[in-house]
Every structure is written in structure tokens, then in C-alpha cells.
């Protein structure tokens, strides 16, 4: 399939990205140069459009800086880099671990709990440097520090981890058949960010449904 070519104005119209932003991305090297037809005019194709759509997701959905976006597209364009590593780079750029406050002394205990869950789930290959692991440890330490530990147990954490794995498998299944690496990363970014929000909302809905069963007294029988 021949790639359609277009001028800057059409690239802007189709992608929904302003000409000023496209020029910025060209200057910053986020977007590869077009094929020049004269010193002031160049032609762009579908790969530029796909890259712009990816950059837009990284900026607007994930709120990343140009420097973080640069690291991701450099990784994508490096033929030596596996797609898996680009996914890791993207994940590291997106995930922020809240500053610990008061939970410092519970950190070791939290690490042991997370180790127990990883072993229970058989999560071989879970890297200790994964920022998501740091987020889990910080959160468990905070739960311990604020005194909610009676509710915290390996079985409860394992229920969370099992649910997380079900969702992660469903997420990845949606990416398996996509041929273009730019599009894989674009969808992975959108789902990493918005999937959390989806899960949070659905968990809130499930809380209502389940607690209605458990916490509402049955209506009194009329004598």
C-alpha cells in the first residue's frame, strides 16, 4: 500500500495538531523531517500522521514533557530496542510514586508483603526496578502507617493482584494484533492512564452493588 502524501496544512488538519506544534516537534526531533520538494515545502505521509497521533496521546492523555516524549520516540526509532523496552520506558515516564510521609518505617514490612504476593502469583520476571512496584510498596507502607493494617493481609493483596492480572491480560490481548509499533505505544499509553480511571470507577460501582447487599438491613416484616 502506497503511503498517501500531504503538505503541512493537511497534516495539521487530519491530525488535529496545530502547525505551530508540528513545527516544534520537527525542531525537537520528535517528528522526522518530511521529504522536501523545495526549500520551504515538504511532503508528509502516514508515518508522520501516526507519530503525531502518538505524540498527542503522550502529551494530552499522559501529560508528559517533551523530554519524556523524546525518550520514548528515540526508543521506538532505535532498531536495536525491543518493543518491550519501549513499553517499559513509557511506563516509567507515566508512573509517579507519591512522596513518602510518615510511612518510611513501614517500608521494609511493605516490601516483604509485596514479595509474598509476587511469589504467591508466580510473577517471575517482575523487575525490582519497575516504578509500579515502587508505587505498590509506597501504598502498602502508607496503608500500614495510617493504621488500616487490620484490613491488610496477603490474601487481600492477592485478590487485588489476581484482579490486576486479569485486567493486564485483557489489555495486552487488545495490542497483540497491531502491526505498527507507534500505534501499540499509543494505545498502551491511553490504556495505562485511562484504564486506571476506568478500574477505579468500576470498583466504586461494585462497592455500591456489594455493600447494598451487605449493609442495608432487610425491610422489617409487617405483622
Binding to a second copy (CB under 8 A) within 7-46 occurs at none
Q: Return the bridge partners of 73, or none.
A: none
- Contact window for a second copy (CB under 8 A) among 27-35, 43-51, 66-74, 116-124: 116-124
47 binds a second copy (CB under 8 A): no
Q: Which of 212, 220, 221, 222 binds a second copy (CB under 8 A)?
A: 212
In sequence order, what are the beta bridge partners of 36? 42
Stretches 1-9, 38-46, 67-75, 76-84: which one binds a second copy (CB under 8 A)? 76-84
Find out whether 94 and 64 touch, Cβ atoms under 8 Å.
yes
The half-sphere exposure of 211 on its side-chain side, counting CA atoms within 13 A, is: 6
In sequence order, the 6+-apart residues with CB closer than 8 A to the CB of 126 are 118, 133
Cβ pair 56, 16 in contact under 8 A:
yes
Q: Which region among 30-38, 42-50, 70-78, 80-88 touches a second copy (by CB under 8 A)? A: 80-88
188-207 residues near a second copy, rule: CB under 8 A: 190-192, 194-207
Task: Tell whether residue 108 is a contact of a second copy (CB under 8 A).
Answer: no
For the record, the C-alpha cell of 178 comes out as 497491531
Residue closer to a second copy by CB (options 33, 210) is 210
Does residue 51 sit in helix, strand or coil? helix
For residue 44, give every residue at least 6 positions away whose Cβ sits within 8 Å of its Cβ, in sequence order, or none: 5, 6, 7, 8, 11, 34, 35
Q: Which of residues 134-173 bind a second copy (CB under 8 A)?
A: 134-136, 139-140, 142-143, 146-148, 150-151, 155-157, 159-172
**Closest CB to a second copy among residues 33, 156:** 156
Binding to a second copy by CB under 8 A, coded x per residue (else -) over 85-104, reads --xx--x---x--x------
Amino acid at each position: 500500500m502506497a503511503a498517501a502524501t500531504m503538505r503541512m496544512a493537511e497534516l495539521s488538519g487530519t491530525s488535529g495538531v496545530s502547525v505551530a506544534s508540528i513545527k516544534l516537534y520537527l525542531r525537537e526531533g520528535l517528528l522526522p523531517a518530511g521529504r522536501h520538494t523545495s526549500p520551504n515545502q515538504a511532503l508528509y505521509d502516514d508515518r508522520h500522521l501516526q507519530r503525531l497521533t502518538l505524540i498527542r496521546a503522550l502529551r494530552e492523555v499522559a501529560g508528559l514533557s517533551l523530554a519524556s516524549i523524546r525518550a520514548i520516540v528515540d526508543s521506538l526509532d532505535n532498531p536495536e530496542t525491543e518493543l518491550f523496552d519501549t513499553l517499559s520506558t513509557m511506563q516509567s515516564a507515566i508512573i509517579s510514586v507519591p512522596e513518602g510521609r510518615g510511612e518510611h518505617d513501614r517500608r521494609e514490612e511493605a516490601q516483604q508483603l509485596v514479595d509474598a504476593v509476587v511469589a504467591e502469583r508466580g510473577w517471575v520476571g517482575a523487575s525490582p526496578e519497575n516504578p509500579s512496584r515502587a508505587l505498590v510498596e509506597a501504598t502498602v507502607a502508607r496503608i500500614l502507617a495510617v493504621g488500616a493494617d487490620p484490613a491488610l493481609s496477603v490474601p487481600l493483596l492477592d485478590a487485588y493482584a489476581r484482579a490486576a492480572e486479569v485486567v493486564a491480560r485483557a489489555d495486552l490481548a487488545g495490542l497483540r494484533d497491531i502491526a505498527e509499533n507507534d500505534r501499540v505505544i499509543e494505545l498502551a499509553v491511553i490504556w495505562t492512564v485511562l484504564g486506571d480511571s476506568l478500574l477505579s470507577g468500576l470498583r466504586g460501582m461494585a462497592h455500591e452493588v456489594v455493600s447494598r447487599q451487605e449493609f442495608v438491613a432487610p425491610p422489617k416484616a409487617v405483622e
